[in-house]
């Protein structure tokens, strides 16, 4: 991927939203909501509400929602059972995804998907190029893989954190016991049950953090393996060396995915009020419709108010 833009002035901030993650969260958070014709709208409404809350919190100058385009072939080759334990998407949610994309189009928010590319990798690629272009980045997701991207210019917004804290380097350190630059090694040792990645037997989050604080990196840990105590832990690490190295390739986000977009395309733009009005009427979102009436919330500010509307 290449993001082409002149140097960005200070104070510009990009909000990147993990689309499928928030659609799932919205679907399960609101279980009973339908349109006038009886179609499910719970995920649509929940997504609008959460996106509104995020925009009000971050006040970005640039924004994009990024969707999964399938599992990465490289990861599947390394581990055929990668993410295999995940259940199929509920049909009622699947039917609402295109409607969420229609909402984003009417809102002039870029909706990005690259076939064969996981959303995490596309977000990593956009993040890197945006930082190179002088933007700060907020990634909205609960996926702990994104902690490896945290830096002075990159923070996370976790929907499970009711405090709406933007997670930076200090927060990563407090949560994991390691630096953001050590997250790939930390996850490689512990594994990730969410992605069906097994770690070193007997090595949990605390043990992995202790090892990385002592040795600094995975290379130094295995170079100085004889220093590891107790002997049982050293033996487990030695026996799992190939698994750990494989895990590094699985959990490291790929920031070179082939995708073309300009930073200018991600600039926040006013919503298309007539298009939103048609969608809200179809879905029966009466209070959102009222916000589009004369004297209501301007279309460009709709998201900031959407958090409390239904």
Q: Residue 213's CB: how many other CB atoms inside 10 A?
A: 12
Q: Is the pLDDT of residue 151 over 80?
A: yes
Indicate the domain borders of the chain.
2-168+254-306, 180-251
Q: Is the pLDDT of residue 147 over 70?
A: yes
Q: Is the pLDDT of residue 244 over 80?
A: yes
The band of 247, judged by pLDDT with boundaries at 50, 70 and 90, is very high
* Averaged pLDDT for residues 53-72: 95
Determine the pLDDT at residue 295: 61
Of the candidates 215, 194, 192, the one whose C-alpha atom is nearest the C-alpha of residue 203 is: 192
Determine the pLDDT at residue 5: 42
| Choice between 300 and 218, residue whose per-residue pLDDT is larger | 218
Helix (H) or strand (E) holding 180: none
**pLDDT for 181-200, tens place per residue?**
999 999 999 999 999 999 99
| CA–CA dist 100, 29 (Å, integer) | 16
Q: What is the DSSP string of 267-307?
A: B-----HHHHHHHHHHHT-HHHHHHTSTTS--GGGHHHHHT
Determine the pLDDT at residue 297: 52
Q: Is the pLDDT of residue 303 over 80?
A: no
Determine the pLDDT at residue 1: 39
Q: Is the pLDDT of residue 177 over 60?
A: yes
| CA–CA dist 11, 64 (Å, integer) | 18
Determine the pLDDT at residue 210: 98
Q: b or e along 129-167 (b: 16 or more beta carbons within 10 Å of the residue's beta carbon)?
A: bbbebbbbbbbbbbbbbbbbbbbebbbbbbbeeeeeeeb
- β-bridge partners, 62: 14, 267
Class of domain 2-168+254-306: alpha beta
**pLDDT for 274-302, tens place per residue?**
999 999 999 999 988 988 887 655 444 55
What's the chain's average pLDDT? 91
pLDDT > 70 in the chain, percent: 91
The band of 257, judged by pLDDT with boundaries at 50, 70 and 90, is confident
| CA–CA dist 163, 153 (Å, integer) | 21
Choosing among 1.10.290.10, 1.10.150.20, 3.40.630.30, 3.40.50.720, the CATH entry for 180-251 is 1.10.150.20
What are the start-end ranges of the E strands in 201-291?
260-262
Of the candidates 133, 139, 148, 157, the one whose C-alpha atom is nearest the C-alpha of residue 12 is: 133
Determine the pLDDT at residue 3: 40
């Amino acid at each position: 991927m290449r993001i082409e833009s002149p140097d960005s002035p200070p104070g510009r901030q990009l909000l990147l939203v993990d689309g499928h993650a928030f659609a799932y969260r919205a679907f399960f958070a609101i279980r009973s909501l339908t349109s006038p014709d009886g179609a499910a709208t719970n995920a649509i409404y929940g997504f609008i509400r959460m996106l509104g809350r995020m925009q009000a919190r971050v006040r970005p100058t640039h924004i994009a929602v990024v969707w999964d385009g399938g599992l990465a072939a490289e990861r599947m080759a390394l581990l055929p059972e990668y993410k295999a334990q995940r259940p199929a998407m509920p049909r009622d949610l699947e039917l609402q995804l295109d409607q969420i994309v229609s909402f984003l189009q009417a809102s002039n928010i870029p909706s990005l998907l690259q076939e064969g590319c996981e959303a995490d990798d596309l977000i990593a690629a956009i993040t890197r190029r945006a930082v190179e272009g002088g933007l700060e980045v907020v990634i909205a997701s609960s996926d702990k893989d994104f902690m490896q991207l945290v830096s002075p210019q990159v923070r996370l917004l976790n929907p499970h954190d009711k405090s709406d804290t933007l997670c930076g380097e200090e927060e990563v350190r407090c949560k994991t016991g390691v630096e953001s630059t050590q997250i790939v090694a930390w996850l490689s040792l512990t594994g990730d049950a969410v992605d069906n990645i097994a770690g070193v037997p007997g090595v949990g989050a605390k043990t992995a953090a202790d090892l990385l604080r002592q040795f600094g990196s995975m290379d130094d840990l295995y170079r100085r393996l004889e220093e590891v105590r107790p002997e049982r832990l050293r033996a487990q690490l030695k026996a799992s060396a190939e698994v750990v190295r494989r895990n590094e390739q699985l959990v490291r986000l790929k920031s070179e995915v082939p995708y073309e977009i300009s930073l200018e395309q991600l600039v926040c733009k006013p919503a298309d009020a007539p298009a939103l009005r048609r969608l809200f009427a179809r879905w029966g979102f009466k209070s959102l419709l009222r916000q589009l009436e004369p004297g209501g919330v301007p279309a460009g500010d709709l998201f900031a108010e959407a958090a409390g509307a239904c």
